[in-house]
Amino acid sequence: MKRTHHCSELRPAHAGQTVTLEGWVHSRRDLGGVLFLDLRDREGRTQTVFDPSDLNAAVFDRATRLHSESVIRVTGRVRPRPAGTENAKIPTGQVEVMATGLEVLNDAEILPFSVDDPEVANKVNEELRLKHRYLDLRRPEMIRNLRLRSKVAMATRAYMDEHGFLEVETPTLFKSTPEGAREFLVPNRREPGTFYALPQSPQQFKQILMVAGVERYFQLARCYRDEDLRADRQPEFTQVDIEMSFIEREDIYALIEGLLKRVWKTALGMEIPGPFRRISFEEALNRYGIDKPDTRFGMELVDFTEEFRASAFKVFAGAIANGGVVKALNAKGLACATQGQIETMTEYAKSFGAKGLAYIKVEGGEWKSPIVKFFSPAEKQALTSKLGIEEGDLVLFAADQWLNACEILGKIRLYCADVLKQQGKLSIDPARFDFLWVVDFPLLSYDKELNRWYSSHHPFTAPVAEDIPLLKQDPKKVRGQHYDIVVNGVELGGGSIRIHQPDVQRTVFEEILQIPPEETQLRFGYMLEAFRYGAPPHGGIALGFDRLCAILCGTTSIRDVIAFPKTAKGTCLMTESPSPVTPRQLKELYLEVKTAKS
C-alpha cells in the first residue's frame, strides 16, 4: 500500500514529513495560480496545495484539469498552514500538504449532483440520490451513518455473545404462512406450482431452535414484507431477533435494557438510566391515545365520560349512552390554529369514523365554539379544572367508543405537538430518550368485518397464565404476555413469552383464531409436532435494527441508515429492480404472465 496516512490524520506534529494520501477530490479552489485540492477519504479531509513555482509543469497542468470526485494519489510535504488560513472546523485544519507528486487513479466525469455540498440532502431530490447511491454514500453524513450502524451491529453481537447467545442463521427461503403482511413468493423450478416465501421474520425457526435445545439464539435477521409501503417502511429490513428458553418476561426486560444501554453508550457515549418505565396498553391508550406513547411532553388525554353522561349536548351524551366515552385534551397555546390545521385534525377524526371534531378556542377571554352553549356551568367548571384551561388554549374532544376516542385524540395530540414545535412553543431536548415498556396488551383483537378474533401480536404469544381459563369464555379479557419497547414515540421492537404447550397452541389456532384443522396442519403442523417432543418454555423479542440506527443517527428516515434502500414503490432506482425476465426464465419456472403492465 502506498498510502501513508488517512485524510483525517495529519497534525502540526507531522510538519516536514513526506506523506502519500489517496482519495477523492472533494473540492478545488484556484487562488492566484495556486491550486488547493481538498482530498477526501472515508476518514476525513486534508488540504493539498499545488504550487506551480514548486512543481513540474506537467503535474501542475494535470492537477488543474481534475474534476471533483476524481480519484488521486498525492505525495507531498506536510506543513503548518500559514497564519490566518487555518480551518478550525476540521481536525486536519492546522496543516496542508504541499504536493510534489500526483497520480490520477481515475478521472471522474461531471457529477449529477455535488458531493461536497452539505445541503445536498435538502437540495437534491431523493430519487436522484438513490439512482446514484454510490455518490450519495460518499457524503460524510452517510458514511457516518454506515459507520454507526456497523458499530451498533458489532456492539450488539458482543453483548449477545457475552450473555451466552449463539448467532444462528435461519433460512430466507421459507414457506408461505399467509397471515399479517403479504409475502414475497419465490417460484420453485423443480415442482411446478410450488413456491418458497421470504420470511416475514424468523419467528417459527427461532422457536424451533428452542425446541432444539439452543436455549439462547440471536440473529441480525433480514425480514421481508410485501406491504404497500407507508412513508418509512422498506420491503426488506433488519431485525435484532432474539429467543431464550426457561425465562419469564422480566428476563427479556433485563436483557434488552442492558443491550440498549450498551448500544447508547457505544454509539452516543451516553448513559441511559434504568430500569425503564412500564405502562399498560390500557393506560397508554387512556393517557396518550396510542400504544407507543411519546412521553417527552404532556398534553395528556383526560376522561370526561362521567361529567357529560347527562349532558344537554346530545353528541356527547349520545356517545356515552352507546357505551362510548368522552375524552379531551388541551393543546396549550394553540388557539391560534389555522382553519387548515383544524381541518387536518378533523380529517384525522373522520378517518376513524367520527362525524366531525368538537373543539374550543379560548381567545379574548371567551370560549369560542358552537358547542359551548350546550354546556352547563358544572361541565365548564370540570373542563377548566381538569384541563387547566387558560387564555390561548385549544381544547379538542372525541366522543366515541373507547379505543376510537383514544386513537383520534392520540393522533391529534401528536399533530398538535408538531405544530407547537414549529411555533417554538414546545421544545424537546434532542438528547432526551424516553424508553418504556408497553405491557398487558390484549391477546386478541376483534375484526368486525370478518367477524372473528385475530392475534394482537402473533398466534404464538402466550396468554397471561391466570387468564387461560377465559380463553374460550371471554376472549377479549385475556391479556397476552406481549411487550413492546418504545422510545420517544417510536416502537423499537416487540416480543412475547410463547405458548409452548401443543394443546394450548392448537386451541388458539383452531378454536380461537378459527383456522380450520387441515389448514393448521398444513401451515403449522411441523411446529405442533415439534412441541410434542419436549418444548421448553421460551420467549423472545425482535428489535427493528434500521429504526434503532435511525434514532441513534438522529434521522427520521430509515432510508438514511440503509446502504441501498428501496423507494416507497419498492423499487431500487440504482439497479432498476424489480425488472422483467426473459420468456425462457419464465418457462423454466412454469410461469406465464397473463396481465401486461397497464
Binding site residues, ligand ASP, CB under 6 A: 201, 203, 494-496, 540-542
Which residue is listed with cell 367548571? Answer: 381
Please provide residue 153's backbone torsions phi and psi, each rounded to the nearest 5 degrees: -65, -45
- Name the minimum Å distance from CB 460 to ligand ASP: 7
Pick between residue 55 and residue 499 the one whose CB is nearest to ligand ASP: 499
For residue 267, the SS3 value is helix
Pick between residue 170 and residue 496 the one whose CB is nearest to ligand ASP: 496
Spell out a b/e string for 139-153, using b for 16 or more CB atoms within 10 Å of the CB, else e. bbebeebbebbeebb
- Name the minimum Å distance from CB 459 to ligand ASP: 11
| Residue 502 CB partners (closer than 8 Å, separation 6+) | 528, 531, 532, 535
Instruction: Pull the grid cell for residue 236.
Output: 426488506
- Name the minimum Å distance from CB 541 to ligand ASP: 5
Distance, CA of 90 to chain centre: 31
- Nearest in space to 245 (alpha carbons), one of 540, 542, 529, 543: 540
Pick between residue 405 and residue 512 the one whose CB is nearest to ligand ASP: 512
- Name the minimum Å distance from CB 290 to ligand ASP: 18
Instruction: Pull the grid cell for residue 594.
Output: 397473463
| DSSP 8-state assignment for residue 230 | P
Pick between residue 7 and residue 542 the one whose CB is nearest to ligand ASP: 542
Q: Length of the chain, please?
A: 598
Helical (H) or strand (E) element with 482: strand 482-487
Closest-CB residue for ligand ASP?
Answer: 201
Pick between residue 76 and residue 544 the one whose CB is nearest to ligand ASP: 544
- Name the minimum Å distance from CB 494 to ligand ASP: 6
Instruction: Pull the grid cell for residue 172.
Output: 430466507
CA distance 501 to 457: 18
Measured N-to-C along each axis, helices 339-351 and 402-422 cross at an angle, to the nearest 10 degrees, of 150
Q: Strand 452-455 and strand 444-447: pairing? A: antiparallel
Q: Is the peptide bond before 199 cis (omega within 30 degrees of 0)?
A: no
2 CB-contact burial (10 Å; exposed 0-12 / middle 13-18 / buried 19+): exposed
- Name the minimum Å distance from CB 318 to ligand ASP: 39
List C-alpha distances in Å: 517 to 98, 438, 469, 506, 509: 78, 33, 22, 9, 8
Pick between residue 203 and residue 219 the one whose CB is nearest to ligand ASP: 203
CA distance 218 to 540: 9
- Name the minimum Å distance from CB 252 to ligand ASP: 9
Q: In this structure, is the dihedral angle defined by the CA atoms of residues 172, 178, 183 and 185, taken in order, positive or negative?
A: positive
Pick between residue 63 and residue 541 the one whose CB is nearest to ligand ASP: 541
Pick between residue 242 and residue 335 the one whose CB is nearest to ligand ASP: 242
Pick between residue 218 and residue 304 the one whose CB is nearest to ligand ASP: 218
- Name the minimum Å distance from CB 464 to ligand ASP: 16
- Name the minimum Å distance from CB 200 to ligand ASP: 7
Pick between residue 247 and residue 408 the one whose CB is nearest to ligand ASP: 247
- Name the minimum Å distance from CB 365 to ligand ASP: 51
